[in-house]
Amino acid sequence: MKLCWKAQPGSFVAFFSLELSGPLGSKAQQNNEFSEIFRDPPDADHDGRFNYFVESLEPNTTYTFRLRAFNGFGAGPYTRGEFTTRPSAPACPVLVRSGTNTVTLRWKFGEKNSGHFSSMRRIVESCGSSTNGTVTRSEFMLAIDMHGKNVELVGFLKSALVVSGGGISVYDAIESSDDEYITIHELDSYEQEVSGIGMGF
């Protein structure tokens, strides 16, 4: 992610300090904790770049940044911004079969993505009010969002699509459903949908 900035005319900025908090929902973000990731320029022997490439960010994740300028009088006020990274690139489909009116494609997800669905099943089974593989959707969404512990899982859910739901993500399909509960059977259905899709044309 490339961030850019500039000095106000006549501000005589000595340097800028760019700081980063954790992903949205993480403990660092909730506690408003920031750490400096770039100083522009790093010292008096260099000119300002007025931009910085932030690397090693999770896909489809919102991060909070803040920037402030320093001059001979001290530090200026913070300018804050939230930016969301792009989703992960979808897997390449494999042709399963083709007919006169239908083409069936399958997206092959690896063990890592199967592990995400296994994690969700464990969440359903471990939630306090779950019975017979059922838990309320609000409790389920709270569990996967809690304290930023499942950032990678949330990123996967926001990038994996449910075609029968109009091409929305699994995350949005779960959150927007009119049904109050989510079951192990529903998770199995979501996993089947994101791994194999038949399309007619």
pLDDT band at 201 (very low <50, low <70, confident <90, very high): very low
pLDDT band at 123 (very low <50, low <70, confident <90, very high): confident
pTM equals 0.51
pLDDT band at 195 (very low <50, low <70, confident <90, very high): low
> Is residue 67 within 8 Å of residue 21, measured between CB atoms?
no
> Is residue 20 within 8 Å of residue 54, measured between CB atoms?
yes
pLDDT, tens digit, 9 for 90 and up, residues 149-182: 677 888 888 877 765 655 678 888 877 777 788 8
Residues of the chain with CATH 2.60.40.10: 2-84
Three-state secondary structure of 25-48: CCHHHHCCCCEEEEEECCCCCCCC
Return the structure tokens found at 86.
């792009």
What class is the 2-84 domain?
A: mainly beta
What's the whole-number average pLDDT of the chain?
81
